[in-house]
Structure formats: structure tokens, C-alpha cells
Amino acid sequence: MNEYLLDTHSFLWAIFEPEKLGEKTMAILKNPHNTIYVSSITFWEISLKYASGKLELTCTPEKLIQTAYKMGLKTIALSIEEAALFYQLPKLLHKDPFDRMLIWQAISHHLIFISKDNQFENYQE
């Protein structure tokens, strides 16, 4: 059994555009032996982008919580330790704070991060 953390776009694609996810990712999501997490950080990012008009949805952001549960996803919250130690994550080329927070959370919990973004391969414990 493996444990995974979905990047925000991976979560949204799983709901609205699963054809954008690769075969490998779909197999991971469908495998009942895997535990798939979605972070509170993701819901925060979605809500902010929705409120600013940068993200259009067919529902309001809070409805995605129930959608995640119906999909069998587990939720994970950002701990105060992860928030406080965020500064330790190298900046490298990736500057998006939400993505950096998600990868930091994946590292902190020893989760495999599911993202189309290949800049994260430079992040290690």
C-alpha cells in the first residue's frame, strides 16, 4: 500500500477532467490498496482562486469537500509545525507558495506527490 498527496490541479482533474490524468495516475487513484489524500491547502487555494475569478467551477468550493469524501479521498490538514518550518524548503525555480506548501506537506508525511509539475523532483528531505 502506498500513500499519495494530490496536487491541486490533480484533484480538480480527477473530479472534472479525468481524461487529463495519465494512465499511471488513474491506476493509482483506482487502486483500493492506495490511500489518496487531498490537503486543506488545496481547498484554500481553490477557494482563493474561485473568489478572485481565476478559477471557474460548476459548484462552490465547499461542495468539493463532500466530493472528495465520495471519491474515497482522505483529507490532511497543514500542521503548525509544517507551517512554521516552511521556510526550510528550497526555493529553487518554483515560487508558487501553494505548490511549495503541498510538496512540503508531502515530504513531512512521507507521501508520494501526484503532480504534473516536474520541478518538484529537486525537493528532497
Q: pLDDT tens for residues 26-68?
A: 999 999 999 999 999 999 999 999 999 999 999 999 999 999 9
Q: Read off the pLDDT of each residue in 13-22 and give the average, rounded to a whole number.
A: 95
Return the CA Rg of the chain. 14
CATH of the domain at 11: 3.40.50.1010
Q: In terms of residue numbers, what domain contains 67?
A: 3-116
Domain-embedded: residue 20: yes
Domain-embedded: residue 121: no
Question: Which backbone phi and psi does 35 adopt, to 5 degrees?
Answer: -105, 125
Task: Report how many domains make up the chain.
Answer: 1
Q: Read off the pLDDT of each residue in 105-114 and give the average, rounded to a whole number.
A: 92
Amino acid in position 4: Y
Domain-embedded: residue 125: no
Instruction: Assess whether pLDDT exceeds 90 at residue 92.
Output: no
**Contact in structure between 26 and 18 (CB atoms under 8 Å):** yes
- Above pLDDT 90, what percent of the chain? 70
**Contact in structure between 36 and 72 (CB atoms under 8 Å):** yes
Average pLDDT, the chain: 89
Q: How confident is the model at residue 120 (pLDDT cuts 50, 70, 90)?
A: very low
Domain-embedded: residue 48: yes
Domain-embedded: residue 19: yes
Q: How confident is the model at residue 17 (pLDDT cuts 50, 70, 90)?
A: very high
pLDDT of residue 118: 52
Q: How confident is the model at residue 114 (pLDDT cuts 50, 70, 90)?
A: very high
Strand (E) positions, 7-118? 35-39, 74-76, 112-114
CA distance 71 to 96: 27
Q: Which residue has the cell 482522505?
A: 74
**Contact in structure between 20 and 13 (CB atoms under 8 Å):** yes
Instruction: Assess whether pLDDT exceeds 50 at residue 123.
Output: no
